Each structure stands twice: as structure tokens, then as C-alpha cells.
Amino acid sequence: MCFPPERACAGGHARLCRPQTPPPADNQLEMTTKRTIMENEQMSIELHYQSRQTEKLMNKNMVLLEENQDLRQQLALSKQTQEELARRNNVYQKTIKSLVSR
């Protein structure tokens, strides 16, 4: 920051005003390009990682869906078996009751 000479003296700063020169455009462009390349590489690595994680989750989801379907089938078969056993039990109880009443 540049101060006019009277202001620099009043503020107690003995700094001279020197022009600030920007870095050469080629050097700045090269640094920006390198930074962009590094950011792109980091994003590529992150994208690859996220892609693998997504694939793992999709595979796990597929396994869980298949397991869920199997469990639903087992539940349906268990209910069917339970109903059949209940019917048989009722028939046996009626048979026993009729045999005992004779």
C-alpha cells in the first residue's frame, strides 16, 4: 500500500512508495495451470473412490434385496404351514372329542 509522503510522515511510517509489480503473466499462468491440473487430479481420485463406493453399495443393496425376497418367501411358506397345521390340529381335536364322547 502506498502512502503520500505527508501521510507517511504523519503516521510515523517511513515507508517509501514503491510501485508493486505483478508477477510475470507467463509465470502466473503456469502456476494457475499447475494448480488446476493438481485440483483435477484430486477430483479424479475422489471421483474414482466415490464410484467404487457407489458400486460396492449397489452390490450390497442387490444382495440385501435378494435376501429380503428369500425371507419373504420363507415367511409366506411358514404362514402357509402354520395355517395347515392349525387346520389339522382342529380336525384332530374334533376327532379326539368325538372318540372320547363315545
Dmax (CA) of the chain: 129
pLDDT at 39 over 80: yes
Residue 12 has pLDDT above 70, yes or no: no
- Per-residue pLDDT band for 55 (boundaries 50, 70, 90) equals very high
Say if 97 falls within a structural domain.
no
Q: Quick check: is 3 in a domain?
A: no
pLDDT at 48 over 90: yes
pLDDT of 21 > 70? The answer is no
Residue 20 has pLDDT above 60, yes or no: yes
Does residue 6 belong to any structural domain of this protein? no
Contact 44, 37 (CB under 8 A): no
pTM score of the predicted model: 0.54
Quick check: is 89 in a domain?
A: no
The reported pLDDT for the residue numbered 50 is 98
Which residues form the domain of 41? 23-80
Q: What pLDDT sits at residue 102? A: 78
pLDDT given for residue 19 in this prediction: 59
Judge whether residue 15 has pLDDT over 60: no
In a domain, 4, yes or no: no
State the Cα–Cα distance between residues 72 and 64, nearest whole angstrom: 12
Report d(CA 4, CA 7) in Å as an integer: 5
Asked whether residue 28 carries a pLDDT value surpassing 80, the answer given is yes
How many independent structural domains does the chain possess? 1
